[in-house]
């Protein structure tokens, strides 16, 4: 394993599969309420430059279940890169804590944090990617389907951090990824080039949502304006409206297609109530699995399994 968990692209297929195996084991133990204090006495600093529900709750609870302790540092606390240099925070926190999880704006900052921290660093989202989310997502798909053979995932909406992580996953595990965004809002070009070059998955860009969802096993979306893009929200609403996941669009997908969203959802924008609350939606399994998969990542990075 690498020292850090910054991008899915930094991991091999075997390493990712080992994380999923451990996730299963830890999830079963959690369900049985069986003690699994693999990180007894260890502490995690959680640095947040942006808001969060799932990431904070799942990491904090997960670390407690592993017998450790997680410390929440809100956007008002550290002021990473503003009040203090990223590399200084990296070195200071490494003196107190055994592992760091950070949610930051600039991806360069998480790379710098990892470079200067002597302890492992986990990426809890940057403007560029959200690897823990997509690890939980694919694990959830695996649970529901039992395998990942002949999988077609259609991502509809903004080519944002979540979409970039789907592309990174496609560079490691084989599946068919369809990306459907308005022109000019596609995922990161360099990431797409690398994923195409890896030759692991079929990756297609299709601008028409109806065509994009055809034969999809998973229809996935995320908010149209991410954290930090609030000023563009109104303009984006207009541009993205044809990319809404609603019953009409779902009628063009497979009848048993799974609907996913990393949450928080803007109901009535990228997804309608009837779809997110409907029988095909697995959004809450997906949210739960954030905790299980992240526990496995923590345990692996700390060499405790």
Residue 234's contacts (CB-CB under 8 Å, 6 or more residues apart) are none
Specify whether 290 is catalytic.
yes
Q: Among residues 36, 56, 130, 261, which one is catalytic?
A: 130
Of 263, 280, 285, 304, the residue at the interface with ligand CP (CB under 6 A) is 263
Specify whether 222 is catalytic.
yes
Window of 79-87, 141-149, 193-201, 256-264 that interacts with ligand CP by CB under 6 A: 256-264
Least distance to ligand NVA from the beta carbon of 157, Å?
A: 9
Of these partners, ligand NVA, ligand CP, none, which one is at the site of residue 53 (CB under 5 to 8 Å by kind)?
ligand CP
Least distance to ligand CP from the beta carbon of 167, Å?
A: 18
Of 7, 23, 55, 65, the residue at the interface with ligand CP (CB under 6 A) is 55
Rounded-to-integer distance, Cα 277 and Cα 292, Å: 23
Least distance to ligand CP from the beta carbon of 183, Å?
A: 26
161 vs 272 by CB, closer to ligand NVA: 161
Specify whether 194 is catalytic.
no
Of 76, 49, 48, nearest in space to 60 by CA:
48
Q: Among residues 103, 107, 109, 261, which one is catalytic?
A: 103
Q: Is 164 in the site for ligand NVA (CB under 6 A)?
A: no
Rounded-to-integer distance, Cα 46 and Cα 227, Å: 18
Q: Taking CB positions, which residue lies at the least distance from ligand NVA?
A: 226
Strands (E), the chain: 43-48, 69-73, 99-103, 121-123, 152-156, 176-180, 202-205, 218-221, 258-261
The footprint of ligand NVA on residues 261-290 (CB under 6 A) is 262
Residues 147-176 as b/e (b if ≥16 CB within 10 A, e otherwise) read eeeebbbbbbbbbbbbbbbbbbbbbbbebb
Residue 284's contacts (CB-CB under 8 Å, 6 or more residues apart) are none
Rounded-to-integer distance, Cα 165 and Cα 131, Å: 6
Of 141, 212, 223, 296, the residue at the interface with ligand NVA (CB under 6 A) is 223
Q: Among residues 39, 132, 180, 262, which one is catalytic?
A: 262
Looking at the DSSP bridge assignments, the partners of residue 72 are 46
What token pair was written down for 78? Answer: 């550290």
174 vs 264 by CB, closer to ligand CP: 264
Specify whether 202 is catalytic.
no
Residue numbers annotated as active site: 103, 130, 133, 222, 262, 290
Which chain residues interact with ligand NVA by CB under 6 A? Answer: 125, 160-162, 222-223, 226-227, 262
């Amino acid at each position: 394993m690498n020292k850090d968990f910054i991008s899915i692209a930094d991991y091999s297929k075997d390493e990712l599969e080992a994380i999923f195996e451990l996730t299963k084991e830890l999830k079963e133990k959690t369900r049985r309420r069986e003690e699994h204090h693999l990180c007894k006495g260890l502490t995690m600093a959680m640095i947040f430059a942006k808001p969060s529900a799932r990431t904070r709750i799942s990491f904090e609870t997960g670390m407690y279940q592993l017998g450790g302790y997680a410390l929440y540092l809100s956007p008002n606390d550290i002021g990473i890169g503003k009040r203090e240099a990223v590399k200084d925070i990296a070195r200071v926190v490494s003196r107190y804590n055994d592992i760091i999880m950070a949610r930051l704006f600039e991806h360069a900052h998480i790379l710098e944090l990892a470079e200067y921290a002597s302890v492992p660093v986990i990426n809890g989202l940057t403007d560029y990617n959200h690897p823990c989310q997509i690890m939980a997502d694919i694990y959830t798909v695996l649970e529901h389907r039992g395998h990942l053979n002949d999988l077609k995932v259609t991502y509809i909406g903004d080519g944002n951090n979540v979409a970039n992580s789907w592309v990174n996953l496609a560079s490691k595990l084989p599946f068919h990824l369809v990306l459907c965004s308005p022109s000019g809002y596609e995922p990161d070009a360099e990431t797409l080039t690398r994923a195409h070059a890896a030759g692991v998955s079929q990756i297609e860009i299709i601008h028409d949502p109806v065509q994009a969802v055809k034969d999809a096993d998973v229809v996935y979306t995320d908010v149209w304006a991410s954290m930090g893009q609030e000023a563009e929200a109104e303009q984006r609403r207009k541009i993205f409206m044809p990319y809404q996941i609603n019953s009409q669009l779902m009628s063009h997908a497979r009848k048993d297609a799974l609907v996913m969203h990393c949450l928080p959802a803007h109901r009535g924008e990228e997804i309608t109530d009837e779809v997110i609350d409907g029988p095909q939606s697995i959004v809450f399994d997906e949210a739960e699995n954030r905790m299980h998969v992240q526990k496995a990542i923590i345990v692996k990075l700390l060499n405790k399994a």
